[in-house]
Amino acid sequence: MSQTLKVDPSKKWSGPTRPYDLIKEIVIAVVVVSLLAMGLAALFSSPDEKAVTLKSWATTAPADFALVATGELSGSTGSAGYGAPYNTAAEGQHFGIIKLQDWAGVRIPINPANSFVVEPLLVSADSAAKEAVATWKSASTDQQGKWATAYETALGKAPDATEVADTAGLFGPVPVMISSLLKMAQSGGLDGALTTSDTNLPTNFTKPMLFLADSDGYFGDLATKQHLGGDQWGVMNETGSWPGQSWLWLFSFWYQIDPFKSSENADTIIMLIMGLLTFCLMFLPLLPIIRRIPYKIPVHRLIWKSWYRSNG
């Protein structure tokens, strides 16, 4: 028959005691946890990959860089048509009346043509590039679109080319701008120009990341090789030889199944699901059936088995 021990906090404890070495306990816990962490890190940590930069992209896949840069000018890239928080080019994701992107609005204004191509070229030392930019800026928006679209089409037909001759006079200043931007990227200057465009310190990587993300070729292939594609369940550390964010598997899980993986509003829906699950987890201990678990599975009796043996 079990016995419930009642203790009056105002009285001195007169029951059984046992010696307890707190320092020894702490040392053992630290050593065991450290060895376990190092062992698991060695087995399951993310690869220590070098950071992907605009320089590495322009050096490794110059043709892909030129094509994507031209797409930034023509407005055909993902960044150009993303919507909030960068621009108003598209309606944000939503779930019913919940429109998180639209409610937040444009918080980081980015015009890919200007932010990724025109503005960096204005701070370069290339006089030909500056002249080309002046010609570009003096033209109408419609004319700019025609030049960029025509050049993008021409580069698309020559997948290994970084420039195409303008025999019909259809490209305007775009070839010079793209060629100069490619050289700037290969020198590493474009990385610096984009990270310091809004501040004097190179701490804001939003623009380089968006520019890179527009590359389905180079950047997309890197992601696939690391099993980081949208349908590959990949979860990875950004940089450094530390364990990856294993807790993200629950977020990644939803993207692998329908109706989420085929939904244009998957991000919003999955955020709401995870928010609901987190809310439920917060109040899980309050459920009566959960609170009764220690009574149903009395692990404490194993710890104090000698006392319960003599008093139970």
Q: What is the pLDDT of residues 261-298, one digit of tens each?
A: 888 899 899 999 999 999 988 988 888 888 888 888 88
Residues of the chain with pLDDT under 50: 1-2
At 283-292, the pLDDT tens digits run 888 888 888 8
Task: Give me the pLDDT at residue 1, please.
Answer: 47
Nearest to 66 by CA among 124, 187, 190, 152: 152
Provide the whole-model pTM.
0.75
Cβ proximity of 274 and 267 under 8 Å:
no
Strand intervals (E) in 116-234: none
Q: Provide the residue type at 49 as one letter.
A: E
Q: Which residue has the tokens 């928080």?
A: 85
Cβ proximity of 72 and 54 under 8 Å:
no
Tokens of 40: 């698991």
Question: In the chain, count of helices (H) and strands (E)?
Answer: 18, 0
Tokens of 49: 């990959």
Query: 197 vs 2, 61, 110, 201, 203, CA distance in Å?
Result: 71, 24, 11, 9, 10
Nearest to 225 by CA among 78, 77, 65, 60: 60
Task: Give me the pLDDT at residue 304, please.
Answer: 82
Summarize the chain as % helix, strand, coil (round to 5): 55, 0, 45
